[in-house]
């Protein structure tokens, strides 16, 4: 084994104190690289990230080969686990062009160690995917996250290009192209004012028309300071996690709870084991006594960082703002930034800042106050830090208690949790067969 293969040695000859590594560094972490920064070919009306362009005035917004190699080598070298994810996100990462990603793959081959298992992921709006992209993604085993908000009229409400034109047709084309090429993809669907009241239409569209088998739902909560207009004029002002009100594009807490409950009711009757809804899987883990699998529902966080095009590393994708910049990986090794007291404090604040109402909440084990970015309300007793979506989560987690307990019990017996579907169907049957009138 060469020195480079020893745990505690950063590639590119940057030694890291083993003490730092063992004391603070998590066993697994996730870095989302943004090779074009905030640059995107679309102009989704709710996009909080486009405004991050103002953080880098005059920048070409293209990741250099130096930063690219620092990212690949350090993310591989810094993992204690043999499982490494190389993740790309935006803005729109495909704007870098295929040649950039081919160079990235060559660097992966150069730096990976025997026995490592690598996963490549890319989050894209899909509008630029063509045959050549699909061939590349398939050949290199990428898992694609495709952003789509449901059927045409719901998707096109907010997901438009720079000229304000709808994008649904192009995203559908990308999905069909990936299916033809055998590229696995997940749907990332944001839930907002336009689609939140249509949960079954959205879910059935993904399941039945698109043939998706993995879906993520993300609530749109766009905070706005009292003094700011919703769009802030033509140029988007820097979006920061400030303000106690939300735009009218945001999902309401009760709507979010209803959306999740309605999709869950459909899923638990028909699709357990067939369609993977990330939020339900996370909840099932919690009902099984395991940590929730999504960072937003975990007790602490801080293991999912964002890397800007110039090598700046931030605490989280949702906190790409000056106060949360940890440093630059071309100056300080990523592992050192990861394991810094600042990053640790960021992750632990998720637990330590929970208001009393959350600490005493019966569904805390599954919710944990959700993401700190949404904790800008006051609890009934006046304590700050309650999650804006609280009412929705309380209703949703309360509503799914029985089927979740059934699934957890099935798993504990070594049985397939999809057997819950029969139980649900039987529970439904007498109600459905009840004579009318
Ligand atoms: S595709 Fe993504 S990055 Fe681009 S504008 Fe839409 S939400 Fe923002
Ligand atoms: S701030 Fe929110 S999104 Fe970011 S890592 Fe923590 S829980 Fe996850
Ligand atoms: S449901 Fe509400 S009170 Fe309960 S943990 Fe979640 S945010 Fe806190």
* Look-up of token digits 């790309």: 88
Catalytic residue status for 317: yes
Q: How far apart are CA 344 and CA 285, in angstroms?
A: 24
- Give the residue, out of 46, 147, 222, 309, with the most ligand 1 atoms within 8 A of its beta carbon, to mutate for a pocket test: 147
Q: How far is the CA of 169 from the centre of ligand 1 (A)?
A: 16
Q: Would you say the CB of residue 364 lies under 6 angstroms from ligand 3?
A: yes
Q: What pLDDT is attached to residue 230?
A: 47
Q: Which atom of ligand 1 is nearest to the CA of 125?
A: 1
- Give the residue, out of 292, 390, 396, 400, with the most ligand 3 atoms within 8 A of its beta carbon, to mutate for a pocket test: 390
The string of DSSP codes covering 357-379 is: HHHT-TTHHHHTT--GGG--EE-
Q: How confident is the model at residue 235 (pLDDT cuts 50, 70, 90)?
A: low
Q: How far is the CA of 374 from the centre of ligand 2 (A)?
A: 10
Q: What pLDDT is attached to residue 9?
A: 27
Q: What pLDDT is attached to residue 24?
A: 60
Between 113 and 270, residue with greater pLDDT: 270
Measured from the alpha carbon of residue 241, the closest ligand is 2
Q: How far is the CA of 226 from the centre of ligand 1 (A)?
A: 25
Q: Per-residue pLDDT for 232 more than 50? A: no
Peptide bond into 63 cis (omega under 30): no
Phi/psi for 189 (5° steps) reads: -115, 120
Q: Would you say the CB of residue 396 lies under 6 angstroms from ligand 3?
A: no
Q: Identify which of 79-83, 233-237, 402-406 has the greatest average pLDDT.
A: 402-406
How many residues are given for the chain?
Answer: 437
Closest protein CA for atom 6 of ligand 1:
44
Measured from the alpha carbon of residue 306, the closest ligand is 2
Q: What pLDDT is attached to residue 238?
A: 80
Distances (CA, A) of 142 to 62, 64, 138, 308: 21, 22, 6, 21
Mean pLDDT confidence for 361-365 = 98
Non-local CB neighbours of 230 within 8 Å, separated by 6+ positions? 224, 247, 248, 249
Of the candidates 160, 170, 187, the one whose C-alpha atom is nearest the C-alpha of residue 130 is: 170
- Give the residue, out of 47, 126, 164, 218, with the most ligand 1 atoms within 8 A of its beta carbon, to mutate for a pocket test: 47
Q: Per-residue pLDDT for 291 more than 70? A: yes
Q: Which of 182-196, 219-233, 339-353 has the lowest mean pLDDT?
A: 219-233
Of the candidates 31, 32, 120, 143, the one whose C-alpha atom is nearest the C-alpha of residue 78 is: 31
Report yes or no: 307 and 33 within 8 Å, Cβ to Cβ: yes
Q: What percent of the chain has pLDDT over 90?
A: 80
Q: How far is the CA of 342 from the centre of ligand 2 (A)?
A: 15
Q: Per-residue pLDDT for 131 more than 70? A: yes
Largest CA distance in the chain: 80
Are β-strands 304-307 and 30-33 bridged in parallel, bridged antiparallel, or unpaired? Answer: parallel
Q: Per-residue pLDDT for 279 more than 90? A: yes
Q: What pLDDT is attached to residue 23?
A: 53
Measured from the alpha carbon of residue 30, the closest ligand is 2
Q: How far is the CA of 394 from the centre of ligand 3 (A)?
A: 6
Q: Per-residue pLDDT for 355 more than 70? A: yes
Closest protein CA for atom 7 of ligand 2:
296
The string of DSSP codes covering 60-121 is: -----HHHHHHHHHHHHHH-SSSEEEEEE-SS-GGGG-HHHHHHHHHHHHHH--TT-EEEEE
Residue of 149, 271, 312, 317 marked catalytic: 317
Q: 14: which strand partners?
A: 10
Q: How far apart are CA 329 and CA 267, in angstroms?
A: 43
Distances (CA, A) of 237 to 57, 60, 181, 231, 319: 13, 19, 40, 8, 15
CA 52-58-60 angle, to 5 degrees, is 85
Q: What pLDDT is attached to residue 87?
A: 97
Model pLDDT for residues 59-87, shown as the tens digit of each residue: 999 999 999 999 999 999 887 778 899 99
Report yes or no: 149 and 190 within 8 Å, Cβ to Cβ: yes
Model pLDDT for residues 179-192, shown as the tens digit of each residue: 999 999 999 999 99
Report yes or no: 36 and 95 within 8 Å, Cβ to Cβ: yes
Q: Is 302 left (phi over 0), alpha (psi -120 to 50) or beta?
A: left
Mean pLDDT confidence for 294-305 = 96
* Secondary-structure breakdown of the chain: helix, strand, coil percentages, each rounded to the nearest 5: 45, 15, 40
Of the candidates 69, 120, 135, 124, the one whose C-alpha atom is nearest the C-alpha of residue 96 is: 124
Per-residue b or e along 122-134, where b marks 16 or more CB atoms closer than 10 Å to that residue's CB: bbbbbbebeeebb
Model pLDDT for residues 255-269, shown as the tens digit of each residue: 999 999 999 999 999
Closest protein CA for atom 1 of ligand 1:
125
Phi/psi for 123 (5° steps) reads: -100, 125
Of the candidates 127, 155, 129, the one whose C-alpha atom is nearest the C-alpha of residue 142 is: 129
Non-local CB neighbours of 5 within 8 Å, separated by 6+ positions? 113
Q: How confident is the model at residue 49 (pLDDT cuts 50, 70, 90)?
A: very high
User: What number of other Cβ atoms are within 10 A of residue 329's Cβ?
Assistant: 27
Are β-strands 117-124 and 325-328 bridged in parallel, bridged antiparallel, or unpaired? Answer: unpaired
Q: How confident is the model at residue 237 (pLDDT cuts 50, 70, 90)?
A: confident
Q: How far apart are CA 87 and CA 142, in angstroms?
A: 10
Q: What pLDDT is attached to residue 229?
A: 47
Q: Per-residue pLDDT for 6 more than 60? A: no
Q: How far apart are CA 224 and CA 232, in angstroms?
A: 10
Task: Name the CA dihedral angle for 315, 320, 323, 326, rounded to a multiple of 10 degrees.
Answer: 40
- Mean pLDDT estimate for the chain: 90
Q: Would you say the CB of residue 367 lies under 6 angstroms from ligand 3?
A: yes
Measured from the alpha carbon of residue 188, the closest ligand is 1
């Amino acid at each position: 084994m060469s020195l480079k293969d020893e745990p505690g040695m950063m590639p590119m000859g940057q030694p890291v104190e083993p003490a730092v590594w063992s004391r603070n560094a998590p066993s697994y972490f996730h870095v989302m690289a943004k090779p074009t920064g905030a640059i995107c070919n679309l102009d989704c009306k709710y996009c909080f990230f486009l405004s991050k362009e103002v953080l880098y005035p005059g920048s070409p917004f293209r990741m250099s080969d130096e930063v690219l190699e620092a990212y690949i080598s350090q993310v591989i070298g810094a993992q204690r686990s043999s499982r490494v994810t190389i993740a790309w996100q935006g803005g729109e990462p495909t704007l870098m062009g295929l040649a950039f990603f081919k160079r990235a793959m060559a660097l992966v081959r150069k730096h990976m160690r025997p026995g490592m298992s690598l996963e490549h992921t890319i989050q894209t709006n899909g509008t630029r995917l063509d045959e050549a992209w699909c061939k590349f993604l398939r050949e290199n085993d990428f898992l694609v996250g495709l952003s789509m908000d449901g059927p045409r009229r719901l998707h096109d409400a907010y997901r438009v290009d720079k000229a304000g034109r709808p994008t649904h047709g192009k995203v559908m084309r990308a999905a069909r192209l990936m299916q033809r090429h055998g590229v696995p993809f997940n749907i990332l669907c944001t839930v907002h004012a336009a689609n939140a009241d249509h949960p079954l239409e959205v879910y059935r569209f993904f399941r039945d028309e698109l043939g998706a088998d993995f879906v993520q739902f993300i609530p749109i909560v766009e905070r706005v300071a009292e003094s700011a207009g919703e769009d802030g004029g033509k140029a988007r002002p820097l979006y920061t996690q400030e303000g106690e009100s939300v735009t009218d594009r945001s999902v309401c807490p009760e709507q979010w709870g209803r959306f999740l409950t309605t999709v869950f009711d459909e899923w638990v009757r028909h699709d357990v084991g067939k369609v993977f809804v990330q939020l339900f899987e996370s909840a099932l883990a919690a009902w099984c006594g395991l940590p929730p699998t999504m960072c937003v529902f975990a007790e602490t966080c801080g293991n999912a960082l964002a890397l800007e095009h110039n090598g700046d590393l931030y605490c989280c994708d949702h906190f790409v703002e000056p106060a949360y910049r940890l440093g630059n990986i071309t100056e300080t090794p990523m592992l050192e930034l990861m394991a810094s007291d600042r990053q640790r404090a960021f992750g632990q604040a998720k637990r330590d800042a929970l208001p009393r109402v959350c600490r005493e909440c019966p569904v805390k084990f599954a919710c944990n106050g959700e993401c700190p970015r949404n904790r800008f309300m006051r609890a009934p007793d006046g304590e700050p830090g309650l999650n804006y979506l609280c009412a929705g989560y309380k209703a949703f987690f309360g509503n799914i208690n029985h089927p979740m307990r059934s699934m957890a019990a099935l798993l504990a017996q070594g049985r397939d949790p999809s057997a819950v579907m029969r139980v649900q169907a039987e529970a439904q049957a007498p109600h459905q067969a009840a004579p009318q009138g």
